[in-house]
Amino acid sequence: MAIANSWMSNAAFESAQTWSAQGAIVNWAVGKGTGAKSNQLPLVMMNLTASFQRTLQKFYPIAQVQGKKKQINIGGAARGTLQIGAIFAPYGDDLEKFLEAVAKECKGDDDGVTITIRPFGNQKCTGTAGTQKFNNNIAFQLKNVELESLGVSVQGGEVAIVNFPTSYSFTGLDLDLKAAST
């Protein structure tokens, strides 16, 4: 039975594009500017979620002149959240250094922690085998990262897994669409 011109048909599309995402490179650094030494985030990450928002209040004054209506927007401070679901691995000093940096109170300008998330993948599944390139041309840079919560849970079974969920806040977000490939 043929179904023509129905919601099940793909006839409306001229072509399809397929790409794959293999993961992300996640680095962290302490300090300001581009001179800060970057290290790989010392967590075996299973998932990562970041969001960034700011409050925007809209006011409409009551006493307005006919035909000249006014709207006043008042923007609040921007704030982001980052949740990382990880499993514990014996990273030793690197994990301790990272946790000390994000948990430090009374940070100065030179103590700010930045986390850079650079997703990568095969942008287009075209061409001959071996000529496809990975694309790192986008980076999310989370600035002034602060540790808010850290937890531990253990799953039993044949292999005991130690879950290590962490939550952070951050006050700045830079989106770089032309990040250097690494």
User: Which CATH number belongs to the domain containing residue 87 in this structure?
Assistant: 2.30.110
Residue 2 lies in a domain: no
Does residue 168 sit within a domain?
yes
Stated pTM of the model: 0.70
Read off the pLDDT of each residue in 141-161 and give the average, rounded to a whole number: 89
Residue 44 lies in a domain: yes
Per the structure block, which two tokens stand in for 13? Answer: 């599309």
Cβ atoms < 10 Å from Cβ of 36: 15
- Examine residue 4 and state whether it is found in any structural domain, yes or no: no
Radius of gyration of the chain (CA): 23
Question: Domain range holding 81?
Answer: 20-61+68-176
| 11 found inside a domain | no
Asked if 124 and 155 count as a contact pair (C-beta separation under 8 A), the reply is no
What are the tens digits of pLDDT across the range 85-118? 998 877 656 888 899 999 998 887 788 899 988 8
- Establish if 132 belongs to a structural domain: yes
Query: Is 97 a domain residue?
Result: yes
* Number of domains into which the chain is organized: 1
pLDDT of amino acid 35: 54
